[in-house]
Amino acid sequence: MGSAYPTNSHERRGKEVGLPAAVVEAIVAGRPAALTDKREGVVYDVALALANGRLIPQDLYERAVEALGHEGVTDLIVLMGYYTCVSLTMNFYSVPVSGGGTPRH
């Protein structure tokens, strides 16, 4: 669920915390990203698969449970649900990149 405001905010934050520009660009575009941190990589792989409506293959399931535990996987899924809700709401109200208020009444 792409939304202008959260996409822009997360893109800026990724750069602030030191993610390489190529990684940030891949994430924003929904492409595979070359994340070197094992935990970050598995989070991204799971999120990308789920966001694209895919079933999680067994090898990714095992990597996710190993890296995050079942509680961490559940936290990831809940956060994805929350941010999907936020993005849907922002899309409905066409919240601009600058944020602030809703342009539609």
Query: Would residue 103 count as lying in a domain?
Result: no
- Catalogue the E-assigned strands of the chain: none
Query: Would residue 37 count as lying in a domain?
Result: yes
Query: Would residue 77 count as lying in a domain?
Result: yes
Give per-residue pLDDT as tens, 2-30: 677 778 888 999 999 999 999 999 888 88
Give per-residue pLDDT as tens, 23-73: 999 888 888 888 999 999 999 999 999 988 889 999 999 999 999 999 999
Give per-residue pLDDT as tens, 70-84: 999 999 999 999 988
The CA-based dihedral angle spanning residues 11, 15, 20, 23, taken in that order and rounded to the nearest 10 degrees: -10
Q: What is the total count of domains within the chain?
A: 1
Query: Would residue 105 count as lying in a domain?
Result: no
Q: Which domain holds residue 35?
A: 4-92
Query: Would residue 87 count as lying in a domain?
Result: yes
| CA separation for the pair 40, 85 (Å, rounded) | 23
Query: Would residue 28 count as lying in a domain?
Result: yes
Query: Would residue 104 count as lying in a domain?
Result: no
Query: Would residue 100 count as lying in a domain?
Result: no
